[in-house]
Amino acid sequence: MKMSILFSLCIFAFPGFSQGRVVGVDEAGFAECNEFFYGETPPEGFTESFHVKICQQYNKEPRFATLYSTEDKTPLYSAFKYTKAAQRGKESWLVEPQIDDPGNDLEEMVHEAVAVGSVNNLGANQALTTDYVDSGYERGQLNPSSLNEDDFQLATYTLTNAVPMTPSLSESWHKDVENIVEQALAPHCENGARLYLVAGAVPSSLRVKDKVSIPEFLWLAACCDAPEVWSVGFLKRPSGENSIEDLSVQELEKQLPSGAHLFKSNCGGGSQSQEKMEAILQTINQIQSEESIVQTTAGRVGWHKREESSLLKRVAGIIAAPFTKLLRIIGYVLVEVVRYTCYFLWYVVKQLSNTAMGGLYSLWNGVVSYGKEIGTVLVNIPRDVAKVAANIIMGFVRIFQNTLSLIYRILSVPIGLFLHILAFPLDTLCAVPIVLKDMAAGVGGTCSLIVDATAAMMSGFYYIATHLGKKFVPKLSSDD
């Protein structure tokens, strides 16, 4: 029972309903979140390799876009559209798993309690809640939750939308942006329906806990494309917490990294309405004047009250300080115990579910393999029977063929002998004329050979005699 209650507390305390998509560096734009940029074109000039594009989503719907610096552990800017001013809801801060672990299958932004057991190198590339604890800085939203409502507001509570701000700067920034957008900008742009906003921070070399960069200054740029085109920029420095400077977008871009261009075609180029700009700036000056008067009056009244109660506060502070610190320590320890208990429970549940799923998967594979083998055997039975029957028939055919061949060979021996015996007299009689003919031809040939030999001898003797006669007879005649 205690474990189920604690697990329910973990689910209630660490909701993970928000979704985010880390867009590839090589991809053009911010995917589904391009709609939050004027002309669906993100700002130019932010091209460092450690800049990560994030399409911030909640309940599977895009809510705003963020360019995040993994080196500074802070967002460079968040682009959003004004929905409706609302009271700030309960804070429930989330982290983006894919920034630290790109291969992680968690596509949803989740609380650190969920991410600890499943995300590798958590906090290597992004800020965590623990980075702000006892630092003197708050998680200040670039896209203020007070300018959003419902799911849009809940989506702003992500650490990828927060930079370190002192409590007073955070309160002043949210109040200034809320008043300027709600009272000066939205009324001159179809109540914010055609208003594109980009809020950013320029990192400095100062760091919170040597990790998270403290912004050098904050800025806001607005572009309206209907019914009349206009744009305006604002700059707020930590040294001037109670004031915000208005300037043109072009002047603001000069304060940003070299080559920065916030809006496509400078938000309409040279076709901006000067009358509209004058009306907007007049409203802004009026807002700042009213805030200055309120702050001055509140300062005077507060001074008198502070003088009267300063001594009492000091005494009470000295007495209460140890108890306050003790309560803070106890609270911190309890929170950490609950949190790490939730980590453990989440890890155990995850391991059990993975083991169960692995067993079911192995069982399913075994059943499928067994069924497959049985099916293969059943399918092969008719084929094997047919092969055996065909082999038997072929055996009988060969036996019959060999039997006929043997019978033929046995019968052919006496029949052949009998036929040869019968044919012998006929062959003998038929051979007599041929033999006689050959004998006659032999005798005739012999006689012809004798005659030819005799004639050749006679011819030779004649030749010799003639030759000798020619050789000796003339000599005898000449001697006489």
| Residue 151 belongs to domain with CATH number | 3.40.570.10
Confidence of residue 20 (pLDDT cuts 50, 70, 90): low
pLDDT at residue 27 greater than cutoff 80: no
Q: What does the DSSP assignment read for 158-218?
A: BGGGEEEE-HHHHHHHHHHHHHIIIIIIGGGTGGGTTEEEEEEEEEEEEEETTTEEEEEEE
Phi, psi dihedral angles at 102 (to 5 degrees): -60, -25
User: Does residue 412 lie in a domain region?
Assistant: no
Classify residue 310: in a domain, yes or no: no
**pLDDT tens digits, residue range 116-168?**
888 899 999 999 999 999 999 999 999 999 899 888 888 899 999 999 999 99
Q: Tens digit of pLDDT for each residue in 336-354? A: 888 788 878 888 998 898 8
Residue 10 in this model has a pLDDT that exceeds 70: no
Q: Are strands 245-247 and 230-236 parallel, antiparallel or unpaired?
A: antiparallel
pLDDT of residue 9: 35
The rounded distance, in Å, linking the Cα atoms of 140 and 128 is: 13
How far apart CA 280 and CA 272 sit, in angstroms, is: 13
From residue 315, alpha-carbon distances to 303, 310, 312, 324, 480 in Å are 18, 9, 5, 14, 196
The pLDDT, as a whole number, for residue 474 is 62
For residues 155 and 318, the model is more confident at 155
Contact between 206 and 213 (Cβ < 8 Å): yes
Element (H, E) at 397: helix 274-479
Residue 301's pLDDT is: 42
pLDDT of residue 310: 52
Identify whether the C-beta of residue 242 lies closer than 8 Å to the C-beta of residue 172: yes
Do the domain assignments include residue 106? yes
Which pLDDT score is estimated for 171?
93
Give a yes or no: residue 302 inside a domain.
no
- The pLDDT score that the predictor gives to residue 299 is 46
Percent of the chain with pLDDT over 70: 86
Q: Confirm if 104 and 119 have CB atoms less than 8 A apart.
A: yes
pLDDT band for position 454 (cuts 50, 70, 90): very high
pLDDT score for 57: 85
Position 416 scores a pLDDT of 78
* Cα atoms in the 13 Å half-sphere on the side-chain side of 181: 31
pLDDT at 91: 83
pLDDT of residue 306: 45
Structural domain count, the chain = 1
pLDDT for the residue numbered 21: 63
> Does a structural domain hold residue 416?
no
Instruction: Look at residue 196 in the predicted model and tell me its pLDDT.
Output: 96
pLDDT value, residue 272: 77
Residues in the chain: 480
- Do the domain assignments include residue 402? no
For every residue of 13-51, DSSP letters joined together read HS---EEEEEEPTTSSTTGGGGGGSGGG---BS---TTE
What local confidence, expressed as pLDDT, does residue 392 receive?
92
Give me the residue label for tokens 């031809």. 441
Residue 65 lies inside a defined structural domain of this protein: yes
The HSE-up count of residue 95 (CA atoms within 13 Å, CB side) is: 27
Q: With cut-offs at 50, 70 and 90, classify the pLDDT of residue 475.
A: low
Cβ distance 160 to 126 under 8 Å? yes
The C-alpha angle 386, 387, 388, rounded to 5 degrees, equals 90
Domain that holds residue 28: 21-294
254-310 residue pLDDT tens: 999 888 999 998 897 667 778 888 888 899 988 888 776 555 444 444 434 444 555
Mean pLDDT over all residues of the chain? Answer: 83
Segment 42-81, tens digit of pLDDT: 999 998 999 999 998 888 889 999 999 999 999 999 999 9
Residue 246 in any domain: the answer is yes
- Residue 119 near residue 106, CB atoms below 8 Å: yes
